[in-house]
């Protein structure tokens, strides 16, 4: 057997290509309210709270559905689950064009949110075609389907201005249904499902699929994704408002900057997957969190005016981040987040090869909830602190917590896997400063034996 044959199963390229294309379409539908919601708000005279609930409902439901969809993918196969989910989301999106009242729009938004659940389906389906050495790159390519959000931001306004928001919903629904059928016809079932059919083996029961969710490690991965994906989505939604208020840009320029932030932030996910395969997902996560800590700290520093008592009187100077430095630091943050998005999902097939659907679904769900919760938290912090950079203060606290948890968890695992490390004190160089280092070593050995 050649090295090439061990890296991917037959049909892997078609599965990866069509799954990525389908996920791009799903993400475009999932974020459709970012554009048509503005016109709906005007037509219905919605308050800011009502509009926020309408825009956030697809994000919320698309996140919550990821766990069951991941489990069903492991049980009956990603091709069938993806077809059913995409057709259901397409139907809901089409019916959205006939909604007239606010409750009807909310019900339609629940169905539209199904499109966001395709992520956990794709992760569980695509990963089964590739070896562990190639899964990072494959899942990084698949995850680049996040660029569908930018597709909607660029294309939907032109369609809406020419034909109305109803046409956007109908065209997006038709495209999603067509892509769902094509993807089903072009791809094959994953090797694990085919092997079960050949041998007559039964799929792992749902309750057993959920058993890994009891492990703290899974929730640690979920926290990582809450930041790298949830905060990324939250910033993409929050940026237009932030740029208009802080840097006094018009809405067109602010919207274009937000879209430009989303596109590379999605495409660089491929680089994160490739790096995870080459140098390891753990090192990529250290890079992600290290860069993010620095970037969020710089962005969190509020514009400040200082008055210093000089020799000849008070000296006043001001520290503030200009628009160009802000955009540069922000893009560095987005790049780091994109690397981390791929690295998180590189961990899952390695640690939980038999539970990719359930674990990947939970991690994706928590990440999606970050995109729903964090913008609300940003607004609440603005009201509480009256400081615009408070959103980045929250992100700094979040990523610092994630980095610390990851580092100490890794240190603990290293000590458990290498018994000789347990006999060493935290600062072994201190042993040479003791009058008699023997008692110190004996004490450390006794503590390890307890």
pLDDT tens, position by position, 375-418: 878 878 888 888 888 999 999 999 999 999 988 888 887 777 76
pLDDT on residue 4:
39
Instruction: Kindly state the percentage of the chain with pLDDT values over 70.
Output: 85
DSSP state letters, 178-214: HHHHHHHHH----HHHHHHHHHTPPPPPHHHHHGGGG
pLDDT on residue 449:
37
pLDDT on residue 360:
75
- Please say whether the beta carbons of 337 and 288 come within 8 A: yes
- Please say whether the beta carbons of 247 and 323 come within 8 A: yes
Number of residues that make up the chain: 450
Question: By CB neighbour count within 10 A (0-12 exposed, 13-18 middle, 19+ buried), where does 84 fall?
Answer: middle
3-state helix, strand and coil shares in percent for the chain, rounded to the nearest 5? 80, 5, 15
pLDDT on residue 7:
63
220 or 425: which carries more pLDDT confidence? 220
State the pTM of this model: 0.70
Instruction: Report the CATH number of the 211-418 domain.
Output: 1.20.1250.20
Calculate mean pLDDT across residues 39-46: 83
Closest CA relative to residue 333, chosen from 285, 385, 295: 295
193/211 Cα distance (integer angstroms): 21
212/285 Cα distance (integer angstroms): 22
N- to C-terminal Cα separation, the chain: 48
Alpha helices in 251-312 (DSSP H): 251-267, 269-279, 281-300
pLDDT on residue 420:
60
Closest CA relative to residue 35, chosen from 159, 174, 176, 179: 159
Closest CA relative to residue 148, chosen from 26, 269, 268, 258: 26
Calculate mean pLDDT across residues 258-280: 78
Token pair, residue 344, equals 């998180």
Question: Could you tell me how far CA 115 lies from the centroid of its own chain?
Answer: 15
- Listed in sequence order, the residues at least 6 apart from 7 whose beta carbon sits closer than 8 Å to its beta carbon are 130, 131, 133, 134
Calculate mean pLDDT across residues 96-125: 90
226/220 Cα distance (integer angstroms): 10
Residue 176: pLDDT above 90? yes
Tokens 């699929």 belong to which residue? 209
Closest CA relative to residue 228, chosen from 278, 258, 272: 272
Token pair, residue 360, equals 């990947």
Three-state DSSP class for 130? strand
What ranges do the domains of the chain cover? Answer: 11-203, 211-418
Other C-beta atoms lying within 10 Å of the C-beta of residue 428: 14
| β-strands 304-310, 313-319 pairing | antiparallel
Query: Is there a shared CATH topology between the 11-203 domain and the 211-418 domain?
Result: yes
Calculate mean pLDDT across residues 81-110: 93
From residue 291, how far is each of 274, 342, 356 by CA, in Å?
A: 18, 16, 28
**Residue 448's pLDDT band (cuts 50, 70, 90):** very low
For 11-203, which CATH class? mainly alpha
317-376: per-residue pLDDT in tens? 788 888 889 988 988 898 899 888 888 877 777 777 766 667 777 787 888 888 888 887
Calculate mean pLDDT across residues 236-253: 77
Calculate mean pLDDT across residues 59-79: 83
Token pair, residue 185, equals 């016809």
From residue 355, how far is each of 59, 89, 121, 203, 365 by CA, in Å?
A: 24, 25, 12, 11, 15
217/229 Cα distance (integer angstroms): 18
Three-state DSSP class for 47? coil
Among the residue ranges 49-63, 109-123, 271-285, the one predicted with the least confidence is: 49-63
331/220 Cα distance (integer angstroms): 25
Residue 114: pLDDT above 80? yes
Residue 443: pLDDT above 50? no
pLDDT on residue 197:
77
């Amino acid at each position: 057997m050649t090295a090439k044959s061990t890296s991917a199963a037959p049909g892997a390229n078609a599965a990866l290509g069509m799954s990525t294309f389908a996920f791009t379409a799903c993400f475009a539908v999932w974020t459709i309210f970012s554009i048509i919601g503005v016109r709906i708000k005007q037509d219905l005279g919605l308050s800011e709270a009502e509009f926020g609930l309408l825009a956030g409902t697809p994000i919320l439901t698309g996140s919550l559905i990821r766990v069951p969809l991941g489990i069903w993918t492991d049980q009956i196969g990603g091709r069938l689950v993806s077809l059913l989910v995409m057709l259901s989301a397409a139907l809901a999106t089409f019916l959205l064009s006939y909604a007239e009242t606010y409750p009807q729009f909310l019900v339609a938004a629940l169905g539209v949110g199904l499109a966001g659940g395709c992520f956990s389906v794709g992760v569980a389906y695509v990963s089964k075609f590739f070896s562990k050495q190639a899964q990072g790159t494959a899942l990084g390519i698949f995850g680049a389907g996040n660029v569908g959000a930018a597709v909607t931001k660029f294309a939907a306004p032109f369609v809406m201005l020419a034909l109305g928001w109803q046409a956007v919903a109908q065209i997006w629904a038709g495209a999603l249904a067509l892509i769902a059928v094509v993807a089903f016809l072009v791809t094959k079932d994953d090797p694990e499902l085919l092997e079960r059919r050949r041998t007559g083996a039964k799929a792992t029961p749902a309750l057993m699929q959920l058993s890994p969710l009891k492990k703290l490690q899974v929730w640690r991965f979920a926290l990582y994704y809450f930041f790298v994906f949830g905060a990324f989505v939250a910033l993409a939604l929050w940026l237009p408002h932030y740029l208009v208020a802080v840097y006094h840009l018009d809405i067109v320029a602010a919207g274009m900057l937000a879209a430009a932030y989303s596109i590379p932030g999605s495409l660089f996910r491929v680089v994160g997957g490739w790096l995870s395969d080459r140098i390891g997902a753990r090192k990529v996560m250290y890079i992600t969190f290290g860069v993010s800590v620095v970037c969020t700290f710089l962005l969190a520093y509020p514009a400040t005016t200082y008055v210093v008592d000089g020799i000849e009187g008070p000296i006043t100077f001001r520290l503030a981040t200009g628009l160009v430095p802000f955009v540069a630091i922000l893009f560095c943050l987005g790049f780091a987040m994109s690397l981390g998005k791929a690295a998180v999902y590189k961990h899952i097939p390695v640690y939980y090869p038999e539970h990719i659907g359930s674990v990947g679904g939970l991690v994706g769900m928590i990440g999606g909830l970050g995109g729903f919760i964090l913008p609300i938290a940003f607004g609440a912090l603005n009201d509480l602190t009256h400081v615009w950079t408070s959103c980045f203060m929250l992100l700094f606290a979040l990523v610092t917590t994630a980095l610390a948890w990851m580092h100490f968890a890794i240190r603990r695992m290293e000590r458990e896997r290498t018994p000789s490390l347990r006999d060493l004190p935290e600062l072994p160089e201190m042993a040479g400063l003791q009058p008699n280092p023997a008692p110190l070593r004996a004490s450390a050995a006794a503590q390890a034996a307890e």
